[in-house]
Amino acid sequence: MIRPGNPVPDLSDGSPQSDGSRHGQPRPENEEAPRQPSAAERARTLVEGNSSLALAIPGLIPAPAAALVPLRCSVGPAGDVFLLFADDSPAVRAVRAAADDEASAVLEVTDVAPVAVPHRIRGRAQVAGWLTLVPGGSFEAGAQLLRLEVGEIALDDLWGAALVEPDDFADAEADPLATEETAVLQHLAASHPDEVGALCSLVSGAGRCTSGAVPVALDRFGLRVRFRTAGGSFDARFDFPAPVDGVGAAQRALRELFAAARAR
């Protein structure tokens, strides 16, 4: 069954929503909640697949002139986050100078929509823990691998705010569409704007959709679209008939959504 999320008006000035959002994102508020990834899965997807990362080390002296952006980031099977930094990075120097070679740190992750849309920040996560050097972990000349043992994860995204336990984060898997999401959303926005816009016919109060639509998020459970109206914008969520396990299945599910919209 195709079940879109109820539309929610957008606050055009970007101020927080009544649901507590800190970054002005419209969120669907369904009477019947759609199928959705767990908070741990969303956090894992955000950390593994996001290029907008910055490491903060409280009390670092001197304060770095620029954000501490890792060269690479990955998540190990036990849920530890591995960060590759240049040998002369303040992050590496801080760990080497810390007592017991361990420094408190927070990895800040920002998820930005890969399409042009108002309120492009889709979510944020903060991964707090303890940073140590990985012995023999220099896989590149002039670089050092650091390990962030996760102590706490705070998540605030399109689905809402949540705290994620380290064990749940370790057990979770990234969404199977995460690596393809950017390409699919950009393709839909560039090559299928009419089909995406037609999905508005599946939303109650469809007459409000007057100024176009942009696909803003995709996961194994469905598609989220931001519809523009004369007075602002609102989001709607479109569930796939069943969760998909890859881009091929997602393409078939999207064709079913478009066919249902044409049949209206």
- Widest CA span of the chain, in angstroms? 66
Residue 167 CB neighbour total at 10 angstroms: 12
- DSSP state for residue 201 in the 8-state scheme: G
CA separation for the pair 195, 188 (Å, rounded): 8
**Bridge partners (DSSP) listed for residue 97:** none
Q: What is the pLDDT of residue 55?
A: 97
* Domains, the chain: 8-15+177-263 (3.20.180.10), 39-171 (2.30.110.10)
**How confident is the chain (264 residues) per 10-residue block, as mean pLDDT?**
32 32 41 76 93 90 87 95 94 88 93 93 96 83 94 96 98 96 97 94 72 93 91 89 96 96 87
Q: Which SS3 state, helix, strand or coil, does residue 194 take?
A: helix
* Neighbour-count burial of 243, counting CB atoms closer than 10 A to its CB (0-12 exposed, 13-18 middle, 19+ buried): middle
Instruction: Supply the pLDDT for residue 106.
Output: 97
pTM: 0.83
